Chain A
Amino acid sequence: SQQGEEDPQALSIQEGENATMNCSYKTSINNLQWYRQNSGRGLVHLILIRSNEREKHSGRLRVTLDTSKKSSSLLITASRAADTASYFCATDSTNYGGSQGNLIFGKGTKLSVKP
């Protein structure tokens, strides 16, 4: 089974619209993180939400976590062309049999924001 599956795989929107990406996972987690990757570049950490949190905000980002459904969503409000990138969720299960620092990444959502 695969941990951390995002949907949609690709999302194309106009500048100013909101973008919502979802992530599902299978095992218990310590925290869930979202990363961004510009094409051919490294991963940049966006936001971390702990298993006892339900919602978190950072600037134009809003993350929710539903541990009963084992799912998370990332909302980017008022999107900009510069938000064009791939977005990955990653789960940390250090206290639940996962190895320390071994984040399990999903396949990502490729977001395209058209000006």
Chain B
Amino acid sequence: EPEVTQTPSHQVTQMGQEVILRCVPISNHLYFYWYRQILGQKVEFLVSFYNNEISEKSEIFDDQFSVERPDGSNFTLKIRSTKLEDSAMYFCASNTLGTGELFFGEGSRLTVL
């Protein structure tokens, strides 16, 4: 069964360092998303991406964040200068229609020290 894959599963970084989280969405999906979940808290929307551009972004998705689809398969989330409060699980998701069921990856746990 097709699935969304994310790498790395866990990354530890120092405050101020750049981090890139990678995702391979399901191949025939057209809409891509990043969500995050701080430990013990809600899953929060960060950004949606369609047709090679950002469709929507939340207040969390500030200038320190960027997304890119560098080729036909990868979808990346970059955090330029990490802060302690960026520590969270980051989930990539995709779907075909932009609404309805989301297919999530297993997540990348980011720990900022």
A binding-site residues for B, Cβ under 8 Å:
30-31, 33, 35, 40-45, 48, 88, 90, 92, 94, 99-108
Q: Considering the complex, give the chain A residue whose CB is closest to the CB of B55.
A: A100
A100–B99 touching, CB < 8 Å = yes
A107–B42 CB distance below 8 A: yes
Other-chain contact of B45, A44, A48, A103 (Cβ < 8 Å): A103
Cα–Cα, bound, A105→B37 (Å): 10
A35 to B103: give the CA distance in the assembly, Å.
10
| Distance in angstroms between the alpha carbons of A21 and B50 in the assembled complex | 34
Contacts A101-B99, A103-B102; is A41 near B107 (CB within 8 Å)? yes
Q: Is B48 an interface residue (CB 8 A)?
A: yes
| Docked-complex contact A48 and B101, CB < 8 angstroms | yes
A101 & B42 in contact (Cβ 8 Å cutoff): no
